[in-house]
Amino acid sequence: MECFAGFSHTLPTIIFRRSINYDASSKRAKTVCLRAKIDDENDPLLQAAIAAASLRLQETFRPGKPIFLSVSIDGNFFFPRPGISSNKPLFLDPYAGCFVPPQIDVDTKQCSLHYFLATKFIDDKLLDTVNQIDGLKQVVLLMDGMDTRPYRLSWPTSTIIYDVSPDRIFKTAAEKLEGVGAKIPKGCLFRHVPSESSNVQQSLRAKGFNGNLPSIWAIQGLPVMTLSSLEEILLLVSGLATNGCFFVGEFPAWLAETDMGIKCSKKESMEKVFLNNGFRVNMISHMEVARSFGKSLTPENYNNILFVAEQLRFSDDQMETWRREFQRVEEDGDEEGFEEL
């Protein structure tokens, strides 16, 4: 998918055998897409990606129109206008249906709302940030392989979107998206980097990523199994993102409980992990996001923590550029001194 998309951002027609039930008394809502087919029922990463797609499909077909939340640079919210119905969908994903196999159960328990809120928050943060970047805009999505943001979000022209995800899942998803006519917004570029690459940083550079230009990074769905895995991701981002760039997304909540050799709160633990890797992080409360939409959350456990982090360091490319410039200035000074002698 390494090509400029010179087509309009049209929405596919998705066909269902039965409608989605949003009755509050119903514990389950079943959806069926005629095009979907499970490729490997024993692949946990594939099944997790399909489960996330089914939740996005559920939210897309919630009665009403979508509502919008503006997210400031520091992660704070601008609340929607009074009177907006909390029953309206937080976002639309017209492509999620092509991933959802027949007879799948869509879980409507309360923690699903956490996922909807996190997805909406990440969507808005990405678009708010990228629209403030002049010239070439770089977006890096660390996802599960079935993320549809490159297709469903209204990216401004001159945006390059990099998808870092499991290659086998991405290829399966790409075939299904092509089958429903999904297109990248006109004037944008989309490139995929397998998360299994031995050197993701080098692979991103090979695909055209420029560490001297601003970027926005997001993670949702990419497996993070250990604290070391999270630190490797932070190392990747800090090496490529320029000073002041943002990294937004979710990571497993249990990582905050990992023994770091000191006694401190979960918040302090994760702040330390991020700061050690060059980021100032702000943990985002799902309750606060929910209130901004007039929704309520029950105190049930959700497995992920929502965050916004700011890059405090300079990227490797920035450091190399300045090193060369400093070396050039020194060499010019030495030549001038030699001429005076």
Q: Count of CB atoms within 10 A of residue 329's CB?
A: 10
pLDDT confidence bin for 296, thresholds 50/70/90? confident
What pLDDT was estimated at residue 334? Answer: 55
Closest CA to 244 of 84, 133, 136: 133
Question: Residue 332: in which H helix or E strand, if any?
Answer: helix 316-340
Residue 257 pLDDT greater than 80, yes or no: no
For 112-141, give one letter per residue: b (16+ CB within 10 A) or e: bbbbbbbbbbbbbbbbbbbeebeeebbbbb
What pLDDT was estimated at residue 226? Answer: 92
pLDDT confidence bin for 105, thresholds 50/70/90? low
Residue 32 pLDDT greater than 70, yes or no: no
pLDDT confidence bin for 15, thresholds 50/70/90? very low
What pLDDT was estimated at residue 197? Answer: 95
* pLDDT one-digit tens code per residue, 201-253: 999 999 999 999 999 999 999 999 899 999 999 999 999 999 999 999 999 98
**Residue 60 contacts residue 94 (beta carbons within 8 Å):** yes
What pLDDT was estimated at residue 216? Answer: 98
Rounded mean pLDDT, 316-330: 88
From CA 67, how far away is CA 88, in angstroms rounded? 7
Rounded to two decimals, the pTM is 0.79
What pLDDT was estimated at residue 85? Answer: 47
Q: Which residue has the higher pLDDT, 35 or 225?
A: 225
**Residue 280 contacts residue 74 (beta carbons within 8 Å):** no
Domains of the chain: 3-321 (3.40.50.150)
Q: Supply the angle between the helices 111-130 and 44-60 in degrees, to the nearest 10.
A: 80
**Which of 75-89, 142-156, 175-189, 239-253 is the least confident region?**
75-89
What pLDDT was estimated at residue 185? Answer: 96
Residue 280 pLDDT greater than 60, yes or no: yes
